[in-house]
A and B are shown apart, each in its own frame.
Chain A
Amino acid sequence: MGGGSRRPERSGGSLVNSTPLVFLGILLGLSASWWGMVVAPKWQLGTGSTVVAKETGQHYPSARPGLAQQGAQIYRSEGCNTCHSQVVRPEGFGSDLGWGWGRRRTVAQDYLRDQPVMLGTVRVGPDLSNIGSRMGAGDTNAQPAMVAYHLKHLYHPRSVMAKSVMPAYPYLFEKRPVNGAPSVDALKLEGEFAPEAGFEVVPRPEATALVAYLLSLRSSISLPEAPVVPPPTNGVAVATNATANPAR
């Protein structure tokens, strides 16, 4: 082999003959991208603050409720971002808006309070930027149905969507004998997904927190840099429509 004995040309390597110069040169090169991609954006975006949304008159983004913040950590811990993105791309990029994943693209302001920010890289499952407003947005009566849907989905995704490839999370739930009257929190499971007679499935605090987090995911308030586009009239984009399917 003898790599040291094989030199194609003697010229062209003057700079790389001095150890300190090589070290500094590489460090300079590495620093260039750090200044451009990390430090400069931190100056611009790192000092950002909430803005008052015209639609609601409230500060945006607001802090997530405590339970939802706990749920964000379950989302991180289970690696949900391995399959789900939280970014709605603008018009012309795929059909993010067409699938009803949001009323507008997502922008830096939407992620101001998130720690960590989990944008995701591969959409094995649908985008979740606005999963909290896919069903019954603004309809407080729809809230229990949304919670029940997501709990069932987490317990066994195939119980609500036959071809789902999402993992089941039974360890976020407890299967226990029914003691007296069934718990009001018990999941309404049918067929092959139902527990044996005399047993019920209730969510553990982790599942409840995770659902609270999912329902807190709403990034559709109109912002100056990302105004809400009027919903199309063909009936496809239904992000905030009360009948929209969260499975999309």
Chain B
Amino acid sequence: MASSDWTIKPAPSTSEVDASLRWVVFTLTAKSALWLVVGSFLTLLASVKLHAPAMMSTASWLTYGRLLPAGWSALVYGFLGQAGVAVGLWLLARTCVQKLQTPLLVVLGGCLWNLGVLAGVIGILAGHSTGREWLEMPAGAMAVLVLGAGVIGTAGWVTYSARTESSPYPSAWFVLLALLAFVWFGTVALMMLGGEGARGVVQVLVQRWFAEGLLKLWLGALGLAVILHELPTLVNRPLASRQLALVGFWALVFFAPWGATGHGDPVPRWLVSAGIAGKTLATVGVLAIGLNLLKTLEGAWGTLFGTLRGRLIGVAALSYVGGGMLQFLGSLRSVSSVVGLTWFHAGLEWLLVGGGVMLAVIAVLPETFERATGRALAPGLISAHAWLTMVGVILVAIPLLLAGVVQGSALAKVAGTYMESLQGSMHFVRLSSLGFTLFFIGQFALLAGVLNVGREMLMDFVGIAKGWAAVPGDRKGVGARS
């Protein structure tokens, strides 16, 4: 591909690029903030019910088994699926030096997406969960999500295709991957799990392949797109190696979803071996990313952690790389025999999704919002949101990981009753409830900020409309043409 192909296209200015995302970023962020409040409330309720299981037990929709998947779905699909994509599209447009193409498609896709999440969360609470982790939303709701993702993804890919920058920054690859990955994993999972598509444990393999794919190549890719973009910017250095980023990218694309099986699973041995090999090779990708960030950051840790935004990105990067390493360790026979099927699994998901992705997204969301809409979120609210979310996520993930180790160690010894063996780990689970509480409180700050900007935009709109209405009729046409 000749480089001259790229130079003949006029590159839009940065402000033009930002302006092309105005409604996309505003609508996606506003709706995502609402889901964040809903999701954090449902997960907090679920967490509290572990300590007070008899509380609110008369309503079926308030049972733990419905609250937790509904809350998780609201956070993952409702919040990250929109805020992450809004930030991702902004990074894509910026790195491709091109205005977002067909923004209306994104707004339309966003509406579909919200319909899907709404139907899905209500469906789970109403007892229509599919019983498959990460895929709990009823198939119809998931199909609407896939359609919405396809519509949004098309706009992203068209923007990439129309780029004026021949070799976009690596973040662009990760955004493109995320946009394609959701459609791919969602479509295949829906097709294979519908009707009699998969029997027996093949259903589990499809579900876990889907979950691994979404965790690493949808959410993980969005998180990495932000981290790879932000971390060098914050320390004012170029990324150490584009090649290393490329190694990480392709290693993750090819190997990450293989990690669907592990030791002790009721599947043929070759599948266990393939799963562990996949996890190992995907770890090469995580290490390549980690090494790249480490080299970029050499001697500049203080600079990074000197700002709130830097702290968020720093903790996100540590969570991503640390979570990747822990996942690899957890796949080893000696470790998985202890932590398998314990709280460790939940802690790891919170570390990777809450820490690695959510913190990265909320670090850059205020700037994305301000650049695209031309209005800043109140600094106090940004700060409160960032701190409460960061401390909350850490206080959820770390105690759950520790609870897993304590629980696994206790279960390895057969003594007393099962409940007695669980008691030790419950102290850590209680601590995680504190994290859920902070996390929940923090989300009101973001919602308040976004709603405030929405109110301002509405007032402006009303002001413009009133001004236009006040102009004498014979001058309106002149004004419109000039």
Contacts and interface: CB of A to CB of B under 8 A. Distances in A.
Interface string A121-150: 111111000000000000000000000000
Contacts of B239: 8
Interface stretch (B323-331, B337-345, B474-482): B337-345
A110 B199 contact: no
A29 B173 CA distance: 13
A23 B180 contact: yes
B342 A123 contact: yes
A99 interface: yes
The listed residue with most B CB atoms (<10 A of its CB), out of A26, A77, A109, is A26
Contacts of A25: 250, 253
A23 B167 CA distance: 15
B55 to A, nearest CB: 9
Nearest to B72: A82
Interface of B, helix, strand, loop or mixed by DSSP:
helix
B198 A122 contact: no
A180 interface: no
A79 interface: yes
Contact of B204 (A36, A109, A119, A157): A119
A174 interface: no
B217 A41 contact: no
B257 interface: yes
A95 B54 contact: no
Interface in B95-124: 95-97, 124
A87 B266 contact: yes
A247 interface: yes
Interface in B47-73: 49-51, 53-54, 57-60, 63-66, 68-69
A182 interface: no
B154 to A, nearest CB: 12
B171 A37 contact: no
Interface string B300-340: 00000000000000000000000000000000000011101
Interface in B230-284: 232-233, 238-243, 246, 250, 253-258, 260-261, 263-268, 271, 274-275, 278
Interface in B396-418: 407-408, 411-414, 417-418
A92 B65 contact: no
Contacts of A22: 160, 173, 176
A81 B172 CA distance: 38
B389 interface: no
Interface string A1-42: 111101111111101111100110111011011101110011
Given A16-B246, A124-B50, A247-B418, A77 B97 contact: no
Interface in A32-82: 32-34, 36-38, 41-42, 44-46, 48, 75-82
A30 B184 contact: yes
Contacts of A113: 200
A231 interface: no
B131 A29 contact: no
Nearest to A33: B257
Interface string B326-366: 00000000001110111101100000000000000000000
Interface in A190-221: none
Contacts of B417: 161, 245, 247-248
A19 B157 contact: yes
A77 B70 CA distance: 12
Interface string A210-239: 000000000000000000000000001000
Contacts of B192: 38, 42
A177 interface: no
A169 B64 CA distance: 11
B53 A82 contact: no
B166 interface: yes
Contact of B57 (A7, A30, A168): A168
A181 interface: no
Interface string B407-436: 110011110011110110010000000000
Nearest to B264: A89
Contacts of B129: 76-77, 79
A165 B131 CA distance: 21
A185 interface: no
Contacts of A106: 266
B177 interface: yes
A158 B54 contact: yes
B167 A167 contact: no
Given A1-B233, A36-B274, A168-B54, A8 B341 contact: no
B205 A120 contact: no
B149 to A, nearest CB: 14
A42 B336 CA distance: 25
Contact of B418 (A11, A81, A248): A248
A244 interface: no
Given A16-B173, A161-B419, A48 B95 contact: no
B54 A11 contact: no
A79 B65 contact: yes
A85 interface: yes
Contacts of A170: 57-58
B94 interface: yes
A98 B217 CA distance: 38
B454 interface: no
A166 B418 contact: no
A81 B242 CA distance: 43
Interface of A: 1-4, 6-13, 15-19, 22-23, 25-27, 29-30, 32-34, 36-38, 41-42, 44-46, 48, 75-83, 85, 87, 89-90, 92-95, 98-99, 105-126, 156-158, 161, 163-171, 236, 245, 247-248
Given A42-B192, A111-B266, 9 more contacts: A11-B242, A12-B241, A36-B278, A79-B65, A95-B412, A115-B203, A123-B342, A161-B419, A165-B51
Interface of B: 1, 14, 49-51, 53-54, 57-60, 63-66, 68-69, 91, 94-97, 124, 127-133, 136, 157, 160-161, 165-173, 176-177, 180-181, 184-185, 188, 192-193, 198-206, 208-209, 213, 217, 229, 232-233, 238-243, 246, 250, 253-258, 260-261, 263-268, 271, 274-275, 278, 336-338, 340-343, 345-346, 367, 371, 407-408, 411-414, 417-420, 422-423, 426
17 contacts: A3-B233, A4-B169, A7-B238, A13-B246, A33-B258, A42-B192, A46-B200, A48-B200, A78-B127, A82-B68, A87-B266, A109-B200, A114-B200, A117-B201, A117-B204, A118-B132, A158-B53
